[in-house]
């Protein structure tokens, strides 16, 4: 498999998909990608005029960036048969937004199994935020509100560990709720055999078969049951996460 799992699309004050653009370009060139099947289902709030318009807006935002990189983008939401679009594209790209709604739609359209099979067979996969969550065994480490109840919490299960995108260390003054670390530790109590990667904004994971590399400007924070969190720098060996 060949996966590019990005924590976030955009840093505050930057253009859309600005910080990961060079990493995406490298991935596109390495894999000779000329066409992308885009999954916009997580992006439901870009318009007040309904889901289709939100998906159109989302797709056009992604097209604007990817066409600058020499790649065509076709969304699965409004053209042809979604499974055929995936079959006829060089790469699958899953955008961020609400992970629960994304999971709900992938089950409702039958694409969950189509994407999983296609990526396992070798088609490259790019995802950010909810799209990175989707590569995990389950959506249980998303930060999102469960605005719908999907058929299952099970996701693509392309990797054997969980990702928490947009991972934050901060505990704001006056905040009485749990920190992100405490939320992840709750997950580990209920799922003690699963590793969780806190993927900070400005970082991504590139997974190629049995190799995994952290790229970007931030450290990764690894959580395991009844162990202290561990920090890893970009370039350090993380292949153990795939075992």
CATH of 2-172+197-222+229-242, one of 3.50.50.60, 3.40.50.920, 3.40.50.1110, 3.40.50.880: 3.40.50.880
Place of tokens 């961020």: 96
Active site residues: 129, 144, 166
Q: Which of 167, 158, 154, 156 is nearest to 223 (CA)?
A: 167
Q: Is the dihedral of CA 222, 138, 85, 53 positive or negative?
A: negative
pLDDT tens-digit map of 86-131 = 999 999 999 999 999 999 999 999 999 999 999 999 999 999 999 9
Q: How far apart are CA 170 and CA 132, in angstroms?
A: 22
What is the pLDDT, as a whole number, of residue 78? 80
Instruction: Give the residue extent of every domain in the chain.
Output: 2-172+197-222+229-242
| E strand intervals along 43-110 | 72-75, 91-94
Strands 162-165 and 196-199: parallel
Can you name the residues that pair with 214 across neighbouring β-strands?
Answer: 205
Q: Output the pTM of the full model.
A: 0.96
What is the pLDDT, as a whole number, of residue 84? 95
pLDDT tens-digit map of 29-57 = 999 999 999 999 999 999 999 999 999 99
Asked if pLDDT for residue 176 goes beyond 90, the answer is no
């Amino acid at each position: 498999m060949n996966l590019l799992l990005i924590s976030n699309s955009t840093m505050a004050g930057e253009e859309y998909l600005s910080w990961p653009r060079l990493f995406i370009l490298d991935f596109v060139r390495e894999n000779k990608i000329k066409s992308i099947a885009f999954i916009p289902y997580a992006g439901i709030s870009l318009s007040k005029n309904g889901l289709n318009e939100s998906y159109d807006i989302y797709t056009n935002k992604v097209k604007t960036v990817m066409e600058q990189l020499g790649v065509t983008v076709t969304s699965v939401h409004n053209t042809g048969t979604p499974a055929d679009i995936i079959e006829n594209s060089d790469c699958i790209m899953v955008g961020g937004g609400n992970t629960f709604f994304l999971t709900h739609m992938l089950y409702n359209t039958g694409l969950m199994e189509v994407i999983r099979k296609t990526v396992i067979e070798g088609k490259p996969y790019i995802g950010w935020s909810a799209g990175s969550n989707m590569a995990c065994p389950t959506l249980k480490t998303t930060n999102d509100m469960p605005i719908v109840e999907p058929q299952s919490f099970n996701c693509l299960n392309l990797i054997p560990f969980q990702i928490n995108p947009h991972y934050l260390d901060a505990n704001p003054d006056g905040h009485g709720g749990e920190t992100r670390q405490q939320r992840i530790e709750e997950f580990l109590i209920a799922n003690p055999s699963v590793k969780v990667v806190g993927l900070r904004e400005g970082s991504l994971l590139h997974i190629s078969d049995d190799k995994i590399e952290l790229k970007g400007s931030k450290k990764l924070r690894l959580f395991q049951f009844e162990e202290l969190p561990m920090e890893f720098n970009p370039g350090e060996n993380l292949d153990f996460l795939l075992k």
